[in-house]
Amino acid sequence: DGMVVRSRTKVRKNLIDVCPNLKVIVRGGVGLDTIDYEYAESKNIKVMNTPLASSASVAELAIGYMLMLARSLYKASASMKAETWDKKSFEGDEIGGKTLGLIGIGNIGKEVAKRAIGLGMNVIAYDPIVKTTDLKVKFVSMEEVLKQSDIITLHIPLDKKTGATITKKEFDQMKNGVILINCARGGVVDEKDLLEALKSGKVAGAGIDVFVNEPPTEEQRELLNHPNVSATPHIGASTNEAQDRVGEEIATKVVQALKK
């Protein structure tokens, strides 16, 4: 009667067709790209997700990347394990007073903005739909986000039709030495163009939680192994708090849907 999935299980037409009693599908997480929801809905099966449960966790990861990349913490930590004492290599930057560009200011983008404002950053944002907020955020064009930002963080879905939002054309408009963070979806940044931008020094540091292939393949190794890349295995929502909220929301939604 009810089906609960996370991100790995794909609920395609063939799976839906072999479940004649199905009334509700709930995906624990953001986005419905892993579910043929239009097909399910055409068969009167409700499709739901848990859009807010992990926003704070993903936002904290993005903020963590900002601090880590501005101070090269991942490199400094590795240097200590290699038994060196190399203070000179780790003269970093403060993030306070810097301009943070948000591409996408939905649920997660707003949580990032709140925290970044608290850290003393100037926050600017581009979003084709959201144009106002109570937060101290200046809404600008995409071009201005690219031109003005010291740090850029993406919080948008992947549009499979249009492909990557950040390609060579966008990197060319960014400040030299920009920091780029992608905790959104693999593919919103063109990985080959990002590697070139890292090699040229256009991008001084990249924090990446999501990849075109997960786990990454041999082809993506050069990007992952670049010294100015810090990467994590899609752990944006992997906190105890987010998992608790996801679990509660799923249980509530399944029960409500099946009681009707």
Residues found near ligand NAD in the complex (CB under 6 A): 30-31, 51, 54-55, 58, 103-109, 126-130, 155-157, 165, 183-185, 209-210, 234, 236-237
Mode of pairing for the β-strands spanning 2-5 and 99-103:
unpaired
Q: Which residue is nearest to ligand NAD (CB)?
A: 106
b/e map 154-181, b = 16+ CB within 10 Å: bbbebeeeeebbbeeebbeebbeebbbb
Among residues 71, 144, 214, 226, the one annotated as catalytic is 214
Say if CB 151 and CB 181 are below 8 A apart.
Answer: yes
226 tagged catalytic: no
Name the minimum Å distance from CB 251 to ligand NAD. 19
Tokens of 176: 């030299």
Residue with smaller CB distance to ligand NAD, 92 or 106? 106
Name the minimum Å distance from CB 94 to ligand NAD. 26
Residue with smaller CB distance to ligand NAD, 79 or 243? 243
Residue with smaller CB distance to ligand NAD, 60 or 150? 60
Say if CB 33 and CB 158 are below 8 A apart.
Answer: yes
**Residue 197 exposed, middle or buried by CB count within 10 Å (0-12, 13-18, 19+):** buried
Name the minimum Å distance from CB 38 to ligand NAD. 18
Which residues contact residue 96 at a Cβ distance below 8 angstroms, ignoring those fewer than 6 apart?
A: 119, 120, 121
Say if CB 144 and CB 116 are below 8 A apart.
Answer: no
Name the minimum Å distance from CB 96 to ligand NAD. 24
Among residues 27, 155, 185, 245, the one annotated as catalytic is 185
Residue with smaller CB distance to ligand NAD, 133 or 228? 133
Say if CB 65 and CB 207 are below 8 A apart.
Answer: yes
Positions marked active-site: 185, 214, 234
